[in-house]
Structure 1
Amino acid sequence: MNLLLALPVGLVIGLSLGALGAGGSILTVPALVYLLGQSPHEATTTSLLVVGGAALAGVGAHWRAGRVRLVPGLVFGVLGAAGSVLGSQASALADPNVLLLGFAGLMVAAGVAMLRRGHKRPRESCGGSGGGGVVTKPRVDIACAVKVVAAATVVGLVTGFFGVGGGFVVVPALVLVLGYDTATAVGTSLVVIVINSAVALGTRVMGHGATFDWPMLGVFLAAAVAGVVFGNRVASRVAPEKLTKAFAVMLLAVALYTAARSAIQL
């Protein structure tokens, strides 16, 4: 039964990750807990492997479409590595129900951020004029450097603690801080997600050990990768604002369900 459920769930998560570069990974943990029967700690660890693998496939698809800035993505990911390690260590000490309740809060924050993103006009960025995709006069100053380091660290902490990619933080950061258009930010965010997921997963495996349901994980990951590839095509044909709003509403609904379930069990 788990194998049958893993296929459609993986497709949905991969689709949103490929189309939006954000949000898809945040559904992985609730799906693994409530649909596939894993404990919160198992789910947050398995999620890192699924999300990292799907994001890696997505990098290739977006790269071919010219929507990846590799060097900035690598720098952003490396800056968040320390946060990934700390988040992974803290997650192992958290009560499972508290972990899920905090995860529900994270989903609410992500949903609200995604809804607000569609209503904001691009502002002046560290990379030049805001959001047009063409960086004209690059400038680096202390304020911009602090913003990049802070955003990267937050993404690392979120990835390590909750087992998610953190794309809902990375994409706005790349748009507002570095001046990328949304499509380029989505493609570049996948590079960051791969790095943070790998660091967090390695920390958990080496520090606390980890066991995986490999047959279920294989089906889930294969479906997620297929979803990422299809999501990349959707991103080229459908207005990002429509996709973002629809996904944000679904995210908020899942958050309410997760909060109710975990609060009852506290």
Structure 2
Amino acid sequence: MEYLLALIVGITLGLLGGGGSILVVPILVYIVKVDPKIAITMSLAIVGLTGLMGTLRHHKNGNVMVKLAFQFGAMTMLSTYLGTYLASFISGQLQLYIFAGVMLLASASMLKNGKKIKIKPSSNLTIFGAASVVGIVTGLIGVGGGFLIVPALLNFFYIPMKKAIGTSLLIIAINSYIGFMGNIINSPNLELDYQFIAIFTILAIIGSVFGAALAHKLPQEKLKRIFGYFLIAMGIFMIIRETLL
């Protein structure tokens, strides 16, 4: 069952150019029955590797601004590690509550109908602040943060959407690696199933190839809205479940 869901995660990534990775933690926690802290660490490995493969595909089309990705990634590194450090002091349940809140924010990003978020940065400090938020979210709850990174690249660096998506995947890969290593350092007793991580990642990558092939045949905005409503339902489910059980 979990491997079928890995394919679905990949297909969603391929269809929408992002978003599917936010399903990894709920799948690991509620379907595979993995401890939340272990699930978040495993998610960072899975999201990072799938993001790296996505980067390679986008790079072939000239849609990855490598220098910008490493500049933005450098700004997020410290905050990503800080996120993993903070995570070592809070319960797995609280992390899931935060995750549910981020999932609801991601749904808003999916439902905004492609409208550009209007942000007027006044200084480099504003950009650094946005990068820091992305890093903390990645380190704390194990999501790539593409729904935060893409608007930041669009509005702070004024690059085309295709380049923003491609560049965001490299940033996600960088942040996920830092987050994964941060969790290993700050929580050395975590028992990770590396074989499961490898199989799940490979299937997600295969699914993303199928999803990308289908993407041009299906209405993107309608798909994003459907997925946005699904994220709302999932976020509410997580809050209720963690409150009642």
Tell me if both proteins adopt one fold, taking TM over 0.5 as the criterion: yes
Write the distance in 1 (CA, Å) between the matches of 2:116 and 2:18. Answer: 19
> 1:149–1:160: structure 2 CA closer, same or farther, 3 Å change rule?
same
Contact 1:79 1:149 in 2 (8 A): yes
What secondary structure does 2:192 align onto? coil
2:212 aligns to what?
A: 232
Does structure 1 residue 184 correspond to structure 2 residue 180? Answer: no
Q: Runs of 5+ in structure 2 lacking a partner?
A: none
Give SS of 1:80's match.
helix
Check the 8 A contact 1:97/1:263 in 2, yes or no: no
| Contact 1:22–1:171 (CA under 8 A) maintained in structure 2 | no
C-alpha separation in 1, matches of 2:157 and 2:215: 21
Q: Does 1:120 align with 2:115?
A: yes
Output aligned runs, 1:124-203, within 5 Å.
143-203=122-182
Is 1:57 equivalent to 2:57 in the alignment? no
Deviations 1:149-189 (CA, angstroms, capped at 9, x unpaired)? 12211110000000110111001111222222322211111
Q: Residues 113, 122 of structure 1: CA spacing in aligned structure 2 closer, same or farther, 3 A cutoff? A: closer
Taking structure 1 as the reference length, what is the TM-score of the superposition? 0.84
CA root-mean-square deviation: 2.0
Structure 1 pair 226–112 and aligned structure 2 pair: CA distance change class (3 A): same
**1:66: Cα distance to partner?**
2.3
Deviation at 1:238, TM superposition (A): 4.3
Identity of aligned residues (%): 34
1:31 to 2:11 alignment: no
Q: Does 1:260 align with 2:237?
A: no
Question: How much has 1:51 moved relative to structure 2?
Answer: 0.4
Deviation at 1:235, TM superposition (A): 4.5
The CA distance in 1 between the partners of 2:54 and 2:19, in whole Å, is: 14
Does residue 75 in structure 1 map to residue 54 in structure 2? no
Give the whole-Å Cα distance in 1 for the aligned partners of 2:117 and 2:82: 32
Deviation at 1:236, TM superposition (A): 4.8
From 159, 182, 193, the counterpart of 1:213: 193
- How far apart are residue 213 of structure 1 and its match? 1.7
Normalised by the size of structure 2, how large is the TM-score? Answer: 0.91
* 1:146, distance to aligned residue in structure 2 (A): 2.7
Cα 1:169–1:88 shift into 2, 3 Å = same
Distance 1:123 1:33, change over 3 A: closer
Is the aligned partner of 1:250 residue 2:245? no
- Say whether residues 1:46 and 2:42 are aligned partners: yes
CA distance in 1, matches of 2:117, 2:86: 35
SS at match of 1:212: coil
Q: Matched residues in 1 for 2:104 and 2:93: separation?
A: 17
CA contact 2:153–2:159 (8 Å) conserved in 1? yes
Q: CA 1:147–1:33 in structure 2 vs 1: closer, same or farther (change >3 Å)?
A: same
Residue 104 of structure 1 corresponds to 100
